[in-house]
């Protein structure tokens, strides 16, 4: 009989009624071929399975990365919304500040002509119909000197004046009252001048204190002067051409 083979792998088939020695070698060769093909298939299946597992792991990692990216995007979106809200509030605050600045500008007298002529400029005062003139650099803005013939005690009305004590006929005394008798405001200041040929002495009454360098309290020459100022309750400083008592 002629030799026959399998359809797919072309393996030789034993003929009927052939002796064992005749078809044994082809059968053994066929078994080896079948074994090799089965092993190759098994290895290919194992490799495919391994690659499938790796592909699944890679897909899971990619999904995790995508989830993280999505979360970051959501966070960024939230921050963007907050930033937009802050920007909107800043614009509103700026507009309010501009409105306040405009109102303040409207309600202020111009620098080059500081006369208040409107009700708004005078804070709603009903006297706004009369212009309030600026008195700076005019004679009326400054106190005048006052000459005293006799002793003197400072009073509020003479604040800022230069007090000239005429000592030609007799020595004069400039007396500071304690707060309990005459509570002049802190910052009250006067200039005191010896306006004669005698002497003028600074004196204190009650709890008042006069602080001066080395305790000097006398103006002993004509035109000698000093400045005296209240700096605290019952506390006065005297600075100038003072001599010992």
- pLDDT for res 196: 93
Give the CA angle between residues 106, 109, 112 to the nearest 5°: 125
For position 127, what pLDDT does the model report? 41
pLDDT of residue 222: 95
- The answer to the question of residue 212 being in a domain is yes
8 A C-beta contact, residue 171 and residue 201: yes
The number of folded domains in the chain is 3
Minimal CA–CA distance to 208: which of 242, 183, 191?
183
Q: Clarify whether residues 114 and 98 are in a common domain.
A: no
Whether residue 245 lies inside any domain: the answer is no
Q: 227: which strand partners?
A: 191, 239
For 141, the 3-state DSSP assignment is: helix
> For residue 97, what are the domain limits?
12-102
> Domain check: are 83 and 163 in the same one?
no
Q: Are residues 46 and 116 in the same domain?
A: no
Q: What is the pLDDT of residue 105?
A: 64
What burial class does residue 208 get, using C-beta atoms within 10 Å of its C-beta: 0-12 exposed, 13-18 middle, 19+ buried? Answer: buried
Alpha-carbon gap, residue 71 to 65, rounded angstroms: 10
Partners of 237 in the beta sheet?
Answer: 211, 229
Q: So what's the pLDDT on residue 33?
A: 85
Query: Tokens 């400029």 appear where?
Result: 121
With respect to residue 75, please indicate whether it lies within any of the assigned structural domains: yes
Does residue 129 lie in a domain region?
Answer: yes
Which pLDDT belongs to residue 111?
Answer: 60
Same domain, residue pair 126 and 69: no
pTM score, whole prediction:
0.44
Q: Is residue 5 part of a domain?
A: no
- The predicted pLDDT at position 132 comes to 43
The answer to the question of residue 74 being in a domain is: yes
pLDDT at 131: 45
> What would the pLDDT profile of 208-227 be if each residue is shown by its tens digit?
999 999 999 999 999 999 99
Look at residue 3 and tell me if it is in a domain.
no
Q: For the chain, which ranges sit under pLDDT 70? A: 1-2, 16-23, 104-143
pLDDT of amino acid 36: 84
Same structural domain for residues 112 and 89? no
From first CA to last CA, the distance across the chain in angstroms is: 163
Res 5: pLDDT: 84
Residue 1 lies in a domain: no
Which pLDDT score, from 0 to 100, does residue 200 have? 97
Q: What is the pLDDT of residue 199?
A: 96
């Amino acid at each position: 009989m002629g030799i026959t083979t399998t359809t797919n792998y072309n393996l030789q088939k034993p003929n009927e009624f052939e002796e064992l020695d005749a078809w044994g070698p082809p059968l053994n060769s066929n078994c080896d071929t079948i074994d090799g093909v089965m092993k190759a298939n098994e290895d290919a299946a194992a490799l495919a399975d391994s690659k499938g597992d790796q592909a699944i792991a890679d897909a899971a990692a990619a999904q995790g990365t995508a989830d993280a990216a999505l979360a970051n995007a959501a966070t960024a979106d939230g921050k963007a919304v907050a930033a937009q809200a802050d920007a909107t509030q800043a614009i509103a605050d700026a507009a309010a500040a501009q409105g306040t600045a405009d109102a303040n500008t409207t309600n202020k007298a111009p620098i080059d002509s500081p006369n208040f002529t409107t009700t708004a400029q005078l804070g709603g005062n009903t006297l706004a119909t009369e212009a309030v003139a600026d008195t700076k650099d005019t004679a009326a803005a400054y106190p005048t000197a006052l000459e005293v013939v006799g002793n003197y005690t400072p009073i509020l009305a003479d604040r800022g004046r230069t007090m000239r004590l005429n000592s030609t006929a007799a020595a004069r005394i400039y007396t500071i009252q304690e707060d309990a008798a005459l509570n002049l405001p802190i910052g009250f200041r006067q200039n005191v001048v010896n306006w004669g040929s005698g002497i003028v002495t600074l004196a204190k009454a009650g709890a008042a204190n006069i602080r001066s360098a080395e305790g000097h309290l006398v103006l002993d020459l004509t035109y000698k002067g000093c400045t005296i100022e209240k700096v605290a309750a019952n506390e006065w400083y005297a600075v100038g051409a003072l001599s010992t008592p």
